[in-house]
Amino acid sequence: MRLAYAKSRRLSSSGVTTGVTQIVVIGAINADHVLAVGSLPQPGETITCTREIAAHGGKGANQAAAAATLGMDTALIGVVGDDPLGSRERAALEQAGVDTSFIRATDTPTGSATVVVDNDGANMIIVQPGANAELSEDDVRAAMQRMDLSGSVVLASLEVPLDAVAAAAEYARSHGARFVLNPAPAMHLAPYLLGWCDVLLPNAVEQLQLGYSGSELFELGVGAIVITQGADGVEVLRPDRAPMHIESLHVEARDTTGAGDAFCAALCAALRRDMDLERACRFAVIAGALATTGLGARGHLPSWDEVERHLGRAV
Ligand code: RIB
């Protein structure tokens, strides 16, 4: 059904894709190579894995797949290599229901990541950016110009060039869409880019690495900050309001890879469906927790109904 939706989108004579794109994701598309181990290796240590799987990854692709699995009309803007891995990743996104017509193919190999996961679900990730490094401002603007962004939520992460992210933020904010930034991996961000963020979604480490305090971010124009803390839930910071902590759902975590991506996607989906920020965070922590129950970043992406069933029990 979702695949049918993605394939049913058509270009009008003006070049605009017909139908509102509810969630637009700008980010990386990777082929993940997952190695399950008993415990993560120490520097200088050689260990043997217990299982090896070829999985789908990249923060942008994971977020887009998670949003589409929640039932949102979702498009991903990104770049893959013109190679078998690029075709494989594009096919996996289409299978999840993502509109892949804004993904460009290039001669540079598809991005990849080696993910090592231990028995407790903790991970180490090394990324080879490949084609993701070629995403340009022009790619982003050309894609967004073809979309109807009325009321959309645009979500970006930082495994692609900052210029492309900034172009997405500026375009979103000047065309009636909200802009949400997942600053992962963390890096120094220019004040003007932060000023375009309706919501900033760092994890606790990234929040420190950003180098701005909460009040400095609010002065720059950030609308709200939601700091993810893994199994401990999230901290919600808003200007002129007391910080609020939201507990996560308790699950047996198998692999925490991609849990943050599922959280970001679910938060954007909930905001797009008019939940207020607090309820959207309650919804998203459940989606993030459920995502840890499968191996690989997309080992278990929950549907809207699955998250709602747990939300019903939590309130
Ligand atoms: O957030 C998890 C993702 O980070 C993995 O899928 C990997 O590809 C890296 O991009």
Q: For the segment 95-133, what is each residue's pLDDT rounded down to a tens digit? A: 999 999 999 999 999 999 999 999 988 899 999 999 999
For residue 17, what pLDDT is reported?
Answer: 61
Domain count along the chain: 1
pLDDT tier for residue 177 given thresholds of 50, 70 and 90:
very high
For residue 10, what pLDDT is reported?
Answer: 47
* Degrees to nearest 5, angle at CA 107 with 102 and 110: 65
Q: Which residues line ligand 1 (CB under 6 A)?
A: 28, 30, 32, 57-59, 62, 113, 125, 127, 159, 257-258, 260-261, 297
**Cβ contact 15:146 at 8 Å:** yes
pLDDT at residue 294 is higher than 70: yes
CB atoms closer than 10 angstroms to residue 52: 9
3-state secondary structure of 25: strand
| Average pLDDT of the residues in 49-78 | 97
Interhelix angle 259-272/277-291, nearest 10 degrees: 150
**Cβ contact 194:166 at 8 Å:** no
How many angstroms separate the first and last alpha carbons of the chain? 31
Looking at the CA of residue 62, tell me the nearest atom of ligand 1: 6
Each residue's pLDDT tens digit, 157-168: 999 999 999 999
For residue 162, what pLDDT is reported?
Answer: 97
| Average pLDDT of the residues in 259-271 | 98
pLDDT at residue 182 is higher than 70: yes
For residue 20, what pLDDT is reported?
Answer: 84
| Average pLDDT of the residues in 178-185 | 97
Out of 79, 115, 201, mutate this one to test ligand 1's pocket (max ligand atoms within 8 Å of CB): namely: 115
Distance CA(96)–CA(258), nearest Å, equals: 15
pLDDT at residue 44 is higher than 50: yes
List 82, 83, 261, 276, catalytic entry = 261
For residue 167, what pLDDT is reported?
Answer: 98
CB atoms closer than 10 angstroms to residue 240: 5
Which residue is closest in CA terms to ligand 1's atom 6? Answer: 57
**Cβ contact 201:179 at 8 Å:** no
Q: Residue 35: which domain range?
A: 4-314
For residue 195, what pLDDT is reported?
Answer: 96
Here the CATH number for the domain that contains residue 300 is 3.40.1190.20
**Cβ contact 116:124 at 8 Å:** yes
pLDDT tier for residue 312 given thresholds of 50, 70 and 90:
confident
Distance CA(102)–CA(119), nearest Å, equals: 37
pLDDT at residue 236 is higher than 60: yes
For residue 152, what pLDDT is reported?
Answer: 97
Active site residue 261: yes
pTM for the model stands at: 0.94
**Cβ contact 59:27 at 8 Å:** yes
**Cβ contact 257:115 at 8 Å:** yes
Considering the chain, what is the average pLDDT of its residues? 93
Strands (E), the chain: 23-26, 30-36, 51-57, 74-81, 103-106, 111-117, 123-128, 153-157, 178-182, 199-200, 224-228, 234-237, 244-246
Q: How remote is the CA of residue 215 from the centroid of ligand 1, in Å?
A: 30
| CA-closest candidate to residue 109, choices 184, 31, 162 | 31
For residue 15, what pLDDT is reported?
Answer: 58
Strands (E), 188-303: 199-200, 224-228, 234-237, 244-246
Each residue's pLDDT tens digit, 60-73: 999 999 999 999 99
State whether the Cα torsion 136-103-86-26 is positive or negative. Answer: positive
Percent of the chain with pLDDT over 90: 90
Percent of the chain with pLDDT over 70: 94
pLDDT at residue 268 is higher than 90: yes
